[in-house]
Chain A
Amino acid sequence: MNLSLGPLLYYWPRDDVFAFYEAAQRWPVTRIHLGESVCSRRHLLRLSDWLALAETLAAAGKEVVLSTQTLIESESDLKTLRRVVADGRFLVEANEWGAVRLLSESGMPFVAGSTLNVYNPQTLDFLARLGARRWLPPVEMSRAALAALLAHAPAGIETEVFGYGRLPLAYSARCFTARHYNLPKDDCRFRCLDHPDGLPLATREGAPFLALNGIQTQSAGVYSLIGELPALASLGVASLRLSPQSRHMARVVAAFDAALHGAAGAAAELARLLPGPAVDGYWHGRPGLEHGAPSC
């Protein structure tokens, strides 16, 4: 099993993004996902910047995947998508079905992202025939459900599992960050830049619950499968996705790499690096915000 770095889900200053990927070249990740997958208004890096970054990382020996927008509403969103597909140099991750259409009609292999909602082997088979080479289950899928699916999975398609980070839970046309600042979405003044790990949302009794990231809603809890690596390997999962956070990402990757090599203490090291409470309920078939395997 190898490690992959998921797409940056937040909006960071341009220099911070370049510094992040400059450092990531040296991290023990096999694959790096680039591109803006959340909000079309985020433009500090243009597609040309992402493509240049992709070339640099590929030259440094990383596999590069271009991740595309999850919510494609407008003709200009589609235009961006068409340019990514037309470039053709890198594998592309489709996060919605319009992207699947463009990629499959171009005869390009692709990655089927977790928001395509693959819940059964029949849908996975359909995607594999269209050219999917790798896929990700929905983040809510349990270990048992994944095992049931993989028992009948088609040949020739790799499984990658979201294994670390705040869970991307929902997408809206509404921008919740702009809403918080009483700004219209079309004039949001890019307040996401002030919240490099999302804007924390708590219940009225102060319990961390969610994180607002523009049009995306994430969990406040940080999903971590560092204790489940043997189970993932035994299911035949090829890759574990680590989702970028603004601080300690090098150490997060190092902890997972150490755990993959059987080092003791990796989970304890990771526990010190989480930007929120640890959760893994989904993996155990329970509410996502819970933590730990059932005691029975």
Chain B
Amino acid sequence: MTLELVCPAGNLTSLKAAVDHGADAVYIGFRDNTNARAFPGLNFDEAQAAEGLRYAHDRGRKVLLALNTYPQSDTWQRWTAAVDRAAKLGIDAAILADAGLMRYAAQTHPRLRLHLSVQGSATNHEAVNFYRAHFGVQRAVLPRVLSLAQVENVARHTDVEIELFGFGGLCVMVEGRCLLSSYCTGESPNSAGVCSPAKAVQWRETPAGLESRLNGVLLDRYGGDEKAGYPTLCKGRFEVRGETYYALEEPTSLNTLDLLPAMLKIGIAAIKIEGRQRSPAYVAQVTQVWRAAIDAAKRDAANFAPTPAWQAALDKLSEGQSHTLGAYHRPWK
């Protein structure tokens, strides 16, 4: 039974760390806004991508390329050039969100394997099968908003392989359907490849506490003993009817180790670890834990239980040092 472990890499060191610690596939992006982690200093130029591919292929692993922002009209060629480069490099699959770009890829490079990005917002089998019928998409990454029962229903009604997020940052909104970041800063994942971009973040010590702002908008204020996290817009504290709380989502991470047997049973093709912006050390540790967990679940799903050591290791790496099953577990909604 296959259940691939797909790990993130923002640079060559991370890619090697992922491969060395047991990733079946590593996903990367080019060094521009053609992918949803368009951060300064992150990502791969063509030579680095080629070296990463060599490193992975020599060890029997795959490299996937995220081209999952929406091409803008006046710079359309940047995205098609990236698709061309991916095909030329021999990338194992390109992860796309935009239908027009998928049409280009399918027509121009029919042998390039296509995955539907989570940014494509496909939340049901009719949508997944649409991309299969028109572009021959072979795998779909589902948004982190479906319950496991809903995931199972999608999987039952399609030949397209299903990939799920297993660990890392938790998007509380449907990916590809969230413009909160551009409302506040002018830049969204869809059009700029960033969410709550670092250049818009301001920290300020005030008598009321440490304040985090995004383009001037107060996202949170921390008391002396509170741990301040990266000010992602949806994880701030706000006021609603006189009550101040995490109105959208707590600063928590997704961790679905507990669900591994269920995912195996449904026939999920791959589990994705979020975090191309994270360090090589992070990638190494998360990959190592997930490799061990997946192997254990494959050996004996019936008696599988995450070990306390795995959970402790992952919790230490989690945002807010806490984790949730997210929408896979229905009460979260």
Contacts and interface: CB of A to CB of B under 8 A. Distances in A.
B123 A71 contact: yes
B124 A98 contact: yes
A173 B72 contact: no
Given A72-B127, A170-B177, A287-B184, A202 B73 contact: no
A220 to B, nearest CB: 10
B190 A72 contact: no
Which of B122, B130, B220 has the most A CB atoms < 10 Å from its CB?
A: B130
A120 B190 contact: no
A120 B129 CA distance: 23
Nearest to A139: B179
Contacts of B179: 138-140, 167, 169-170, 288
B217 A203 contact: yes
A119 interface: yes
B149 to A, nearest CB: 9
B319 interface: no
A246 interface: no
A97 B220 contact: no
A174 B329 CA distance: 11
A217 B123 contact: no
Contacts of A97: 99, 120-122, 126-127, 130-131
Interface string A247-282: 000000000000000000000000000000000011
A126 B104 CA distance: 10
A15 interface: no
A141 to B, nearest CB: 8
A78 B127 CA distance: 10
A117 B248 CA distance: 23
Given A140-B190, A207-B218, A287-B215, A73 B98 contact: no
Interface in B160-211: 172-174, 176-180, 182-186, 188, 190-191
Contacts of A288: 179, 182-184, 186
B153 A173 contact: no
Contacts of A206: 239
Contact of B103 (A98, A126, A217): A126
A149 B146 CA distance: 33
A102 interface: yes
Contact of B173 (A75, A171, A201): A171
B333 A119 contact: no
A57 interface: no
A171 B174 contact: yes
B133 interface: yes
Nearest to B213: A203
A154 B140 CA distance: 29
A81 B104 CA distance: 29
A175 B236 CA distance: 17
Contacts of B97: 117
A152 interface: yes
Interface residues of B, number: 69
A102 B247 contact: no
A152 B74 CA distance: 10
Interface string A170-183: 11111110011000
Contacts of B129: 101
Contacts of A148: 72-74
Nearest to B74: A148
Which of A71, A200, A285 has the most B CB atoms < 10 Å from its CB?
A: A71
A101 B130 contact: yes
B248 A217 contact: yes
Interface in A202-253: 202-207, 209-210, 212, 217, 219
Contacts of B176: 117
B145 to A, nearest CB: 3
B173 A217 contact: yes
Nearest to A208: B239
Contact of B98 (A123, A152, A184): A123
B211 to A, nearest CB: 9
A169 B123 CA distance: 18
Contacts of B72: 119-120, 145, 148
B230 interface: no
A23 to B, nearest CB: 30
Interface in B83-102: 97-101
A72 B123 contact: yes
Contacts of A149: 73
Contact of B247 (A115, A176, A281, A285): A176
Contacts of A203: 217-219, 236, 238-239
B240 A219 contact: no
Interface string B70-86: 11111010000000000
B247 A140 contact: no
A63 interface: no
Given A122-B100, A186-B330, A209-B217, 19 more contacts: A73-B145, A97-B120, A97-B130, A117-B70, A120-B98, A123-B99, A126-B99, A138-B190, A171-B173, A172-B145, A180-B240, A204-B237, A281-B186, A285-B186, A287-B182, A287-B186, A288-B179, A288-B184, A289-B184
18 contacts: A71-B123, A72-B123, A73-B147, A96-B123, A97-B122, A97-B131, A122-B76, A126-B100, A127-B99, A169-B179, A170-B174, A170-B178, A172-B174, A174-B172, A201-B239, A202-B240, A203-B217, A217-B248
8 tightest CB-CB pairs across the interface, nearest first? A122-B100, A98-B126, A123-B100, A173-B145, A288-B183, A101-B130, A98-B127, A148-B73
Interface of A: 70-75, 77-78, 81, 96-102, 115, 117, 119-127, 138-140, 145, 148-149, 151-152, 167, 169-176, 179-180, 184-186, 199-207, 209-210, 212, 217, 219, 281-282, 285-289
